[in-house]
């Protein structure tokens, strides 16, 4: 349920951010999907964070995933 709430709250902002970082639409979609997949595996961490901290966590994960793809 937590991931669904996070998606509803932050997906539009994350999509804009992903598009600004990605080289194409497909890559942006993959980044968003991978970000929420990572959120599923870190529910114990996200559950302890405040709403602003959860948002920051999602954006940081997305950014790091993008950087990792080009290393």
**What is the per-residue pLDDT across 6-34, written as a single tens digit (0 to 9) for each?**
999 999 999 999 999 998 999 999 999 99
pTM: 0.93
Residue 46 CB: number of other CB atoms within 10 A?
17
Residue (of 68, 58, 56, 57) closest to 27 by Cα position: 68
Total domains in the chain come to 1
Confidence at residue 70, expressed as pLDDT on a 0 to 100 scale: 83
Q: What is the CATH number of the domain that holds 28?
A: 1.10.1740
Q: Which domain holds residue 11?
A: 2-69
And the tokens for 20? 């600004």
Report how far residue 69's alpha carbon sits from residue 56's, in angstroms, rounded to the nearest whole number.
Answer: 20
């Amino acid at each position: 349920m937590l991931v669904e709430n996070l998606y509803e709250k932050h997906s539009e902002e994350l999509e804009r951010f992903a598009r600004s970082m990605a080289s194409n639409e497909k890559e942006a979609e993959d980044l968003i999907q991978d970000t929420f997949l990572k959120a599923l595996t870190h529910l114990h961490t996200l559950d302890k964070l405040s709403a602003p901290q959860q948002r920051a966590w999602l954006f940081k994960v997305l950014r790091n995933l993008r950087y990792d793809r080009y290393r």
